[in-house]
Every structure is written in structure tokens, then in C-alpha cells.
């Protein structure tokens, strides 16, 4: 099995070292450089955010078809394969060398939990990519702030919540494009609206309305990239009042206009 060294990826990559052991890179795939199906691993742990395209990812005991709008974490030395990668696929990678973990006293498992247990992690990573397009302002401190924001959110998500929080989570994700306010949630789960309002930020890191807005925008990532639907249709299907509202929310949360995200 091949072990890829620091900041090396299949495909064509442009890579930049920031500071404190953080590397970022943008990897693109064309017909000529699609990854083969050979088992490989990376010397360092890293996060990959799929900006465009898709790939079939195989790990030990699992297989998943990853699409644009998804983020995934790989441990150092974790064997995996990529096949059926769509030409034109592009990935934004954040890699962590050993000195990062030594400097900040963080473990790989902390980052893994922050990515896998936070359904809104992709939004923060997309904002980080947006910032990286302006290298004069994007530094090691910039990306470190993003990572620790995800870690803090992961702590909230991983903190053992009461049963009604789990009920709310399931409801919000099942009915993400509906307008579920405090009173509706209160009736559904049998908890007083004041209690929901008071404790919601403790476990979700934001207010109910902010969480619902971010969740809707998160759900539109795949729709924008992986369907031919017009943005007006996506806005309507996602519960936004109109395309203008959708555009403002998407820009506020991701840093991109929806049409910019679709084109990149």
C-alpha cells in the first residue's frame, strides 16, 4: 500500500503551508489524472471537502459514494480507495502535520468527531475555502479559527443531551424544509417552548431559527451541484420565501452566491 507524503494527493494539486503544521490544497481531477483504485493512505490526517463532482470511496468494511457538498475526515495511515471519480471533481483539503497536534494539544479523534457529528460542518469548511481564495488575508490563524469553531461545536453536539433534544434533532432533519417554530416543536415533543428556547443553544451552538436557516442552506449544497434544477426551484423546495431570500441566506452563511457555488 502506498503512503502519500505530506500535502500529496491523487490528481493535480496546488498546495500551500500556512503555519503550525496546517496545509491546505485544492485538488482537481480530469480524464487524464483520475485516481486509480489502488489502496493508499496519507502520512497525515486530513479533512476533504468535495467542491464538485463525486467519487466512490472505499474504506475498511465500508463503501460510500461521496458527492459535492460533503466533507470527510481521514486518519493518518487510514487505508482507502477512490474509484469512479467524475472528471471535473475538485476537493479542498486541510491537512494536519504532527506539530499541529503538539501545538494545540488536539487529538485526531477530536477532529473526526467534529466533522462526523456536526451536520453543519460543511458550511464552515465552505467558508474556509472562500477565504482561501484571498491568500493575502487567509493565514494559519484563519484556518485554525475555523477548526476550533468546529471543535467547539462538536463538544456541544457530543455532550450527552436529554431525550427531547434528540427528538428535536430528528424532527428538524426530517422536516428541514418546513417552518417549525417553538410552538410547533413544543406540541410535537411535549416540552415547554421556554425550555426549548433556553437550552437549544447549549446543544446546537446557535438559536433555533439560525440552526434551521443553516440546515436549509446545507441541504441545498447537493441540490445546487448535483441536480439541473433552477435556483428558483431549489429555493422553493428548500422552504425559502423566494430566490432573493435564498440568495441572501446562502451568501451570508457560505460566502458564495448560489450561482458562484454552482459554477466553481
40-42 and 2-4 strand pairing: parallel
Structure-block grid coordinates of residue 211: 440552526
pLDDT at 49 over 70: yes
Round to whole Å and give the CA distance between 42 and 15: 15
Q: Which three cell numbers stand for residue 134?
A: 484571498
What pLDDT does residue 154 have?
54
C-alpha cell of residue 235: 429555493
pLDDT surpassing 90 at residue 232 = yes
Distance CA(212)–CA(184), nearest Å, equals: 14
In degrees rounded to 5, what are phi and psi of residue 262?
-65, -35
Pairing type for strands 54-59 and 46-52 reads: unpaired
Beta-bridge mates of residue 55: 66
Helix H segments across the chain?
Answer: 98-104, 108-116, 121-132, 140-158, 163-174, 182-189, 193-204, 208-226, 231-237, 243-254, 258-263
* pLDDT tens, position by position, 114-133: 898 888 999 999 999 998 88
Percent of the chain with pLDDT over 70: 95
**Mean pLDDT (whole number) for 164-177:** 91
pLDDT the model gives residue 137: 73
Domains of the chain: 2-157 (2.60.120.10), 163-263 (1.10.10.60)
Average pLDDT rounded to a whole number, residues 76-87: 91
Q: What is the pLDDT of residue 27?
A: 93
Amino acid at each position: 500500500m502506498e503512503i502519500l507524503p505530506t500535502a500529496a494527493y491523487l490528481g493535480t494539486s496546488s498546495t500551500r503551508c500556512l503555519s503550525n503544521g496546517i496545509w491546505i490544497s485544492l485538488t482537481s481531477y480530469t480524464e487524464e489524472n483520475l485516481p486509480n483504485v489502488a489502496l493508499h493512505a496519507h502520512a497525515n490526517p486530513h479533512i476533504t471537502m468535495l467542491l464538485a463532482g463525486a467519487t466512490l470511496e472505499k474504506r475498511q468494511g465500508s463503501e460510500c459514494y461521496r458527492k459535492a457538498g460533503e466533507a470527510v475526515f481521514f486518519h493518518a495511515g487510514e487505508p482507502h480507495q477512490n474509484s469512479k471519480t467524475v472528471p471535473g471533481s475538485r476537493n479542498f483539503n486541510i491537512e494536519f502535520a504532527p506539530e499541529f497536534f503538539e501545538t494545540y494539544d488536539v487529538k485526531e479523534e477530536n477532529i473526526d468527531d467534529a466533522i462526523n457529528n456536526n451536520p453543519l460542518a460543511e458550511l464552515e469548511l465552505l467558508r474556509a475555502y472562500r477565504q482561501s481564495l484571498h491568500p493575502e488575508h487567509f493565514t494559519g490563524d484563519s484556518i485554525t479559527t475555523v477548526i476550533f469553531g468546529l471543535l467547539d461545536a462538536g463538544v456541544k453536539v457530543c455532550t450527552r443531551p436529554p431525550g427531547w433534544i434528540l427528538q428535536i434533532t430528528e424532527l428538524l432533519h426530517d422536516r428541514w424544509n418546513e417552518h417549525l417554530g417553538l410552538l410547533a416543536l413544543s406540541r410535537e415533543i411535549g416540552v415547554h417552548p421556554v425550555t426549548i428556547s433556553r437550552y437549544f443553544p447549549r446543544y446546537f451552538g446557535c438559536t433555533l431559527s439560525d440552526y434551521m436557516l443553516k440546515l436549509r442552506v446545507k441541504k441545498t449544497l447537493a441540490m445546487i451541484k448535483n441536480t439541473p434544477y433552477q435556483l428558483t426551484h431549489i429555493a422553493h423546495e428548500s422552504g425559502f420565501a423566494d430566490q432573493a431570500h435564498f440568495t441572501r441566506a446562502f451568501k451570508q452563511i457560505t460566502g458564495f452566491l448560489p450561482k458562484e457555488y454552482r459554477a466553481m
